[in-house]
Structure 1
Amino acid sequence: MGRSPFPPRPPEGPSIVTAPRIVLVGAGSVVFTQGLLADLFAFPELRGAHIVLHDIDDERLATAEAATRYIAEQRGATPRISAFADRRAALDGADFVINIVQIGMVEATRTDFEVPARHGLSQTIGDTLGIGGIFRALRTFPFLKALGEDMAAVCPDAWLLNYTNPMAMNVQYLTQATGLNRVVGLCHSVHWTMHDLCDLVNVPLEKVTYLAAGVNHQAWVLNFEYDGENLYQRLDALIATDPQLRRRVRVDMYRRLGFYPTETSEHSSEYVPWYLHHPSEIERLRLPVGAYLGIVDENMAEYEKTRDALAAGTGLPVEGTMEYAPQIIHSITTGTPRTVYGNVPNRGLIENLPAHGTVEVPCLVDGSGVQPTRIGSLPPQLTALNRAYLSMNDLVVRAALEDEPRHIRHAAMVDPATSSALRVEQIWELCDDMVRAHADRLQPALRATLGT
């Protein structure tokens, strides 16, 4: 939609009347918190904002506060900084709430991989669809409901900017279970897909015109042009001459579907039935089964490195990444228009996908808020895949809204990767084992084991 959603920043924007209160929920995710803060303080108009940090882990909260003060000093910012273990106190009077919570942290993530692996199910990331995505959602929903209740009580007009996965399920649940209507899910997959594609075909990102739409982690590059040239033709020529490019899942999907997917091969392999239960495909496409566990270990090591550096009175260099949340906050606060990609309730934005599902589309952001773009219809082959994705999402959300444990199994039964790898009785056995493993994090009605 138009040019890159990362336009050159104007040197000076309209003045802020009052400093916005920006609350980071789950601020103990210190590495990501640091990147967000570096991006926020890159805007002169936000250097005096009130930054409010919340986490239930005292050590991580203290580390996040120390990191905030360090980054502010490095960036020449003079924010007001507050830290609260009490969530409602943190939210009181918020203008923007950024959710980066991960319920269960490392322990729950390991469970999401280890229990399915014992049943013969391969996963790479496990945070969006599949068994990992289902149970990550189910243990996150009780938190989201409580967060929504707190926001309704103390900051009903705040914008909730959600980074927590599974993105599409979480946004659907938030809008259906909490009544909040200023909810936008944010993910950097579209931006980095376009960044990498531009590098591949050797054109500058800032001069490319593109449009993407679909669902989170399975959106599609519908238009990709440079100075009137269809860049898909350049991409086709590269793929034809480079056998290593053809050993990527997303390239394989592009060659067969005609449109490039906006998430990595590791992610994309989990959302379709074609790859992960075939050992030959895992080898051909170089799929790193269980890769996310390595990422978790790296994140923990990076947190500990940051914590120790700050405790020693030093800090670590932090580069801004221009995440969408700081851009949205700047645009709404100053009235500066820009386009970002957001995950929002469909409601006719993509005509041939369910109206109640969450879709990822370009959004205009300015002083009026976040205004999603109506796309029309997707090509039928893309719609078919996105519908399967959204159908599974809907069953997971319904399981929580209706206190119906059978819908957990129904969701796993229709999930493409799970249903292609396991027999139906194995799926039910796996769900029972996952319920037992995560029981204390699930709402009570969903803790039942049902047998086969």
Structure 2
Amino acid sequence: MKPTIVIIGAGSVEFTRELLGDILSFPELGSVRVVLHDIDDERLQTAEAIARATAHAAGAAPEVVATSDRRRALDGANYVINVIAVGMHEATVRDFEIPARYGLNQTIADTIGVGGIFRGLRTFPVLAGIARDMAAVCPDAWLLNYTNPMAMNVTFLHRVAPQLKVLGLCHSVYWTMVGLCELIDVPYDEVSYWSAGVNHQAWVLRWERGGENLYPLLDQRIAADPELRRRVRVDMYRRLGYYPTETSEHSSEYVGWYLHRPDEIERLRINVGEYVSISEANIAEYRRVRAELADTQSLTIDTSSTEYAPQVIHSFETGTPRVISANVINDGLITNLPDGLAVEVPTLLDSLGAHPMKVGDLPPQCAALNRNFLGPVDLAVRAAVDGDPRLVRAAAMVDPNTAATLTVDQIAELCDELTSAHGDLIPKELRTRPDVAAGAAPILARDIAN
């Protein structure tokens, strides 16, 4: 029986195009059932056209279904790929413009920090609904989550739906390793590596070719290039001894060292507010693809299969073993990070499922930064699960970049303003000011299994 693959948030057309291009490039997956879901009818229509054009280009014959009814979309699913963006571009702009008025610099704002916290708070209610629907109509399906904030979302799903099978997928480790190999002119296919930590702040713990440690070659490359030293994660690597697995723009806002200092922003060439332009480019790309589809029945596809979700599905369906970096709940996997929160570790895939690998202790300096990262993650999730708006403010207070920039009164005022600005996208119980909240009750995803 052919598997059913559901894409929730399929109106994110470029991502849908890449995912389907990779999925349908596998001969064993050419006749899968693809179900597309989005709450925006125009984007859903565009996603369906993309699916059919991509299938034509791949020479595949999937069954394609499009529906705005989420429970209908999920009925009988084997794999659910989540790529939703709650609030879309307008919410992203608010997450940048309002903090900027307080003097808080952000670059991507989708992970921790006030941008990540409020993105999480908007996303959690929708995740709870997806989990509830999956428990009802596809309880054995895998939820493959791409939506940020990754660590918060995977942790939240574990808290409210512990029976759900969840993998958080992000391409940051893969592209980091590709980029590092290009820097030292070593083919990626010839190297082995071992990476672990948290999503967007994991660490390259080992990087070898034929048993040779490749870090000394990187050191030589950095020493020879002053401009290369003007990047955040190169700066972090030189001070910490292990290379972080996300871009410099991402990495800059997970620590308290850089973004509140204009001289550091200049020294390290940090592009403050970068994600607003990325979000605008995504809108432009959607319009371009929609116009292109008016004149063609086929779209060019990239068959390199670098996205993880297609590889996960292929391994589960065919038994082909692979190791990827995946986000799962820490259960003794990284022994000097807290259990019960999401971590990113090497994970073996095969016909029996996903098998996260035990890493043991991270280097102490890396673990210390990851624990700082996980503070906002834990508190934001607890705020939503417990219905406690005080924990929203606490999450922002312990965020490294926010704490290094604003006073506690400014943080409270900023959280009040962002809560008001996002309105109904924030859970009702969290829209109450903490000074008038009393005896807040748990609010989300109760009795999902029922």
TM-score by length of structure 1 reads 0.95
Residue number in structure 2 paired with 1:140: 123
Structure 2: state its 5+ residue gaps: 437-450
* 2:233 pairs with one of 246, 250, 268: 250
Pairwise CA RMSD? 1.1
Structure 2 residue 408 is matched with structure 1 residue 431:
no
Structure 2 residue 21 is matched with structure 1 residue 20:
no
Structure 2 residue 116 is matched with structure 1 residue 116:
no
Question: Aligned partners of 1:227 and 1:362: how far apart in 2?
Answer: 20
Q: Is the 8 A contact 2:76 2:137 kept in 1?
A: yes
Question: Aligned partners of 1:91 and 1:188: how far apart in 2?
Answer: 25
- Deviation of 1:391 after TM superposition, in Å, equals 1.5
* 1:386 pairs with one of 363, 367, 370: 370
Residue number in structure 2 paired with 1:400: 384
Structure 2 residue 74 is matched with structure 1 residue 91:
yes
* 2:43 pairs with one of 52, 57, 60: 60
Q: Deviations over 1:173-230 (max 9, x none)?
A: 0111123431000000000000000000111111101100000000000001112211
1:203-352 paired onto structure 2 within 5 Å: 203-320=186-303, 321-352=305-336
Residue number in structure 2 paired with 1:4: none
Q: Is the 8 A contact 1:335 1:367 kept in 2?
A: yes
Question: Aligned partners of 1:19 and 1:231: how far apart in 2?
Answer: 43
Residue number in structure 2 paired with 1:47: 30
Question: Aligned partners of 2:378 and 2:424: how far apart in 1?
Answer: 23
Question: Aligned partners of 1:346 and 1:257: how far apart in 2?
Answer: 23
Residue number in structure 2 paired with 1:198: 181
- Deviation of 1:309 after TM superposition, in Å, equals 1.1
Q: Which amino acid aligns with 1:330?
A: H
Q: Deviations over 1:255-301 (max 9, x none)?
A: 00000000000000000000000000000100011100110111110
* 2:361 pairs with one of 369, 377, 396: 377
Task: Decide which moves more: 310-319 or 279-288.
Answer: 310-319
- Deviation of 1:319 after TM superposition, in Å, equals 1.8
Question: Aligned partners of 1:199 and 1:71: how far apart in 2?
Answer: 30
Residue number in structure 1 paired with 2:89: 106
Question: Aligned partners of 2:323 and 2:103: how far apart in 1?
Answer: 43
Structure 2 residue 354 is matched with structure 1 residue 367:
no
Q: Is the 8 A contact 1:428 1:451 kept in 2?
A: no
Residue number in structure 1 paired with 2:171: 188
| SS of structure 2 residue aligned to 1:425 | helix
Q: How many residues align?
A: 435
| SS of structure 1 residue aligned to 2:253 | helix
Question: Aligned partners of 1:297 and 1:413: how far apart in 2?
Answer: 30
Task: Decide which moves more: 256-265 or 178-187.
Answer: 178-187
| SS of structure 2 residue aligned to 1:246 | coil
| SS of structure 2 residue aligned to 1:245 | coil
- Deviation of 1:312 after TM superposition, in Å, equals 2.8
Q: Is the 8 A contact 1:168 1:216 kept in 2?
A: yes
Structure 2 residue 392 is matched with structure 1 residue 418:
no
Q: Which amino acid aligns with 1:109?
A: T
* 1:163 pairs with one of 136, 142, 146: 146
- Deviation of 1:249 after TM superposition, in Å, equals 0.2
- Deviation of 1:137 after TM superposition, in Å, equals 0.1
Q: Is the 8 A contact 1:169 1:394 kept in 2?
A: yes
Residue number in structure 1 paired with 2:114: 131
Q: Is the 8 A contact 1:344 1:360 kept in 2?
A: yes
Q: Which amino acid aligns with 1:299?
A: N
Q: Is the 8 A contact 2:17 2:51 kept in 1?
A: yes
Residue number in structure 1 paired with 2:17: 34
| SS of structure 2 residue aligned to 1:356 | coil
Q: Is the 8 A contact 1:306 1:316 kept in 2?
A: no
- Deviation of 1:322 after TM superposition, in Å, equals 2.0
| SS of structure 1 residue aligned to 2:229 | helix
Question: Aligned partners of 2:369 and 2:259: how far apart in 1?
Answer: 16
Question: Aligned partners of 2:271 and 2:297: how far apart in 1?
Answer: 36
- Deviation of 1:311 after TM superposition, in Å, equals 2.2
Q: Which amino acid aligns with 1:37?
A: L
Question: Aligned partners of 1:173 and 1:444: how far apart in 2?
Answer: 17
Task: Decide which moves more: 404-413 or 308-317.
Answer: 308-317
- Deviation of 1:318 after TM superposition, in Å, equals 2.9
Question: Aligned partners of 1:180 and 1:247: how far apart in 2?
Answer: 45
Q: Is the 8 A contact 1:138 1:400 kept in 2?
A: yes
Question: Aligned partners of 2:203 and 2:371: how far apart in 1?
Answer: 14
Question: Aligned partners of 1:386 and 1:208: how far apart in 2?
Answer: 26
- Deviation of 1:313 after TM superposition, in Å, equals 3.3
